[in-house]
Amino acid sequence: MKKIVLFFLTLNTVVFAQTTIKGKITDKKDPLAFASVSIPELSKGVNANENGMYVLENIPNGSFTIHFSFIGYKTKKKIVVIDNNISIILDVALEENQSLDEVVVTGTLKAVSRLETPVPVEVYTATFLKKNPTPNIFEALQNVNGVRPQLNCNICNTGDIHTNGLEGPYTMVTIDGMPIVSGLSTVYGLSGIPNSLIERIEIVKGPASSLYGSEAVGGLINIITKSPATAPLLYADFFSTTWLENNLDLGAKYNLGKKMHALLGLNYFNYNNPIDNNQDNFTDVTLQERISVFNKLSWDRKSEKEFSIAGRFFYEDRWGGEMQWNKSYRGGDEVYGESIYTKRYELLGKYELPIVENVTSSLSYTNHHQNSVYGTTLFEAKQEIAYGQLTWDKKSTNHDFLIGMAYRYQLYNDNTTATKAPEKNKISSVFVQDEIKLSKSNHILLGSRLDYHSIHGYIFTPRIAYRWKPTKNDIFRINAGTGFRVVNLFTEEHAALTGSRDVIIKENLNPEKSYNINFNYLKKGQIGENIQSIVEFSSWYTHFKNQIIPDYDTNANQIIYENLKGYSKTFGITGNVEFLFPFGLKTMTGFTLLNSKNKRDAIVSTPILTEKFSATWGISYTLSKWNATLDYTGNIYGPMRLSLLGDLDPRSEYSSFWSIQNIQFTYKNIKNFEWYLGAKNLLNWTPNKKNPFLIARANDPFDKEVVFDANGNPMATANNPYALTFDPSYVYAPNQGIRLFLGMRYSLN
């Protein structure tokens, strides 16, 4: 009997022994409030309190790896071995993460250290997005150097993203590496990606067509969503502005069984407060109501290989126009309005094959329907895109191969005269990439892609990249490559639909082709004993052999599209400098100088909406005693050429220097909560301040009182002294002045 009792006591000690692990998390000086502590093997985790103290209870015997993490700091891992029930005290100091040692995937389609990749990749984390809270990814990029969100219409506020002087359609936007933001969504889809689901954003400036295909001519923005395994258990972020813009982000993770994990996200934005500060009887900002629902599933597999599926639904109702407009006027000629209904479905999937080799299959599908009116012009379009890709990652001695094949199918139809029947395009692709380690400090990357387009035939896009790392803190990179793009005119050129200009397509539009070379230097250093720095400079040159550029100059009443008989080029230099001071101050500044020229029929001109100078900055200061941070962000842009309607147009041909600056105070001293408040556009700058008007003929949007001559050109009259027609395309910056905002974040791990 005693032996039986002794056996059960021993069994109880071995099986049921529980240990408490506790300690303090700091940044070597101050506590890190609400830092995360987890043991993945046990699916157990807690948050530290406001003083950085944490307690992990009921830890069984065994060997475990504890993860300590905090936004903006490098994750630290500690291995502990437990064989009794004695409490363990484990204090940890985390180091600031300057993003250089992060693993990136965008430049080479495989996970690699940012310091090691031959392709320069810029990384922007969720912390960066929080420095200036915005309701969508389009606005969030306004403080990224060399990347500019560009508004294209004063009325419906559609826009695209310019990269190093090239317009939005030349920048491919992917989600988790899948090219789903293109065509119709180039203009309308960027506003529906919830910021709360973004883990980080990786940006490549320069052509990436050899890996990603068409549209990746000027650059690539890869939005990487959070993993269900590392996302907070519950997340909420709500803010409102004095313009009554309301934005809500919700996120939650949950389990469906033992091996299936899910991440659910929801974004809702509402702005329903017509404002006309410039007194032209048109809304200064488009009224919007949109909802986006995102769900991501991942499975635990014995092989530890990835298997995930994600889906998103997006719906938006937006309108802008005369202040008295309502939906009863939609499509009529009594009161002018632009009304857009957008409905979009997306599906993403990734599956690593259960074999010894690293073979990954990926897929995406999008279904986009748009019903819109621009005054009396009805534009209804539908687009479906299916994309599949198979890649094989193979290492052999000093070679690192990536071999892949892809297939893209697009169905597009709209009600314009340019689309006589539904367009079906198919692109089959094969690509290969080899990164060769010539030595420890010298790497060279060779890549090429061969596409077969069902209409345009074979298209070949090679690339070459070289990385030289003479010291551990100095990196030189050279990248060169080609790009191609097939133009989707009415989905990308919003000016072709709005206003009274006639659209003239002179000939069949051929694919655009470009050549690019980029030089990059990065230095990670230290000033004195405590000040850390990162300095990065790049220069580039892009030459287009063919480019479809809208011609606004030949005829003030027309927008003419034809193949470029000449050339188009853009070149420049850009720099980023970061400093991290030991007393809680961090600064990020950047500048871009660029020059763009078009030669068409022996006439050289500067492209419209292309600035020659821009700069961005972000200054963050941590107030440790208050558990608070202060963020000051901003940008400044030099003059850019604008679209005029004729010699008598009184508006300035070039914009003035302009700057948008923001400030934010964040308070973090309440468990699981963050409160933030601040002001946007501190200088209260708007583009109408140095112009007599922005929208031409805003008093006569249907041109009922315009007198035309025998050739169809408007004539100067007493009622129309500048010989103008209605046109809202004179736009280059937001019409919103200064406004305050207040918000709250809640996170439960």
Question: Looking at this protein, which amino acid is placed at residue 143?
Answer: N
Q: To the nearest whole number, what is the mean pLDDT of the chain?
A: 83
Residue 67, pLDDT above cutoff 50? yes
Q: Determine the Cα–Cα distance for residues 729 and 495; give it in Å rounded to an integer.
A: 7
CB 453 within 8 A of CB 461: no
Q: For residue range 700-732, what is the model confidence (pLDDT) as tens digits? A: 999 999 999 888 889 999 999 999 999 888 888
Q: For residue range 520-577, what is the model confidence (pLDDT) as tens digits? A: 999 988 787 678 888 999 999 988 887 776 666 666 667 777 777 777 888 999 999 9
Torsion angle defined by CA atoms of residues 106, 111, 112 and 117, in that order, rounded to the nearest 10 degrees: -30
* Domain 2-93 of CATH type 2.60.40.10: yes
Quote the percentage of the chain above a pLDDT of 70.
85
Q: Which residues contact 28 (CB under 8 A, 6 or more apart)?
A: 93, 95
pLDDT at residue 16, rounded to an integer: 44
Q: What is the pTM for the complete model shown?
A: 0.81
Q: What is the mean pLDDT of residues 151-175?
A: 80
Q: State in words which class domain 225-748 has.
A: mainly beta
**Which has more pLDDT, 507 or 224?**
224
Q: How many CB atoms neighbour CB 376 within 10 A?
A: 11
Q: CATH 2.60.40.10 spans which residues of the chain?
A: 2-93
| Continuous H helices in 686-745 | none
Q: What residues form DSSP beta bridges with 37?
A: 46, 68
pLDDT at residue 668, rounded to an integer: 85
Residue 579, pLDDT above cutoff 60? yes
Q: Determine the Cα–Cα distance for residues 393 and 356; give it in Å rounded to an integer.
A: 11
* 85-89, 492-496, 520-524, 740-744, range with the lowest pLDDT: 492-496
The confidence band for 2, taking pLDDT boundaries of 50, 70 and 90, is very low
Q: What is the mean pLDDT of residues 200-227?
A: 74
Q: CATH 2.40.170.20 spans which residues of the chain?
A: 225-748
Residue 51, pLDDT above cutoff 80? no
**Which has more pLDDT, 11 or 674?**
674
51-65, 130-144, 664-678: range with highest mean pLDDT: 664-678
Torsion angle defined by CA atoms of residues 348, 354, 356 and 362, in that order, rounded to the nearest 10 degrees: -10
pLDDT at residue 416, rounded to an integer: 75
Residue 175, pLDDT above cutoff 60? yes
The confidence band for 140, taking pLDDT boundaries of 50, 70 and 90, is confident
Task: Using DSSP bridges, classify how beta strands 337-352 and 673-680 pair: parallel, antiparallel or unpaired.
Answer: unpaired
Residue 420, pLDDT above cutoff 80? no
pLDDT at residue 69, rounded to an integer: 75
Residue 6, pLDDT above cutoff 60? no
**Which has more pLDDT, 218 or 328?**
328
Q: CATH 2.170.130.10 spans which residues of the chain?
A: 103-224
Task: Using DSSP bridges, classify how beta strands 122-125 and 198-205 pair: parallel, antiparallel or unpaired.
Answer: antiparallel
Handedness of CA 494, 499, 505, 506 (dihedral sign): negative
The DSSP output letter for 709 is -
Supply 347's token pair: 């599906």
Fold of 103-224: Ferric Hydroxamate Uptake Protein; Chain A, domain 1 (2.170.130)
Q: What is the mean pLDDT of residues 248-266?
A: 89
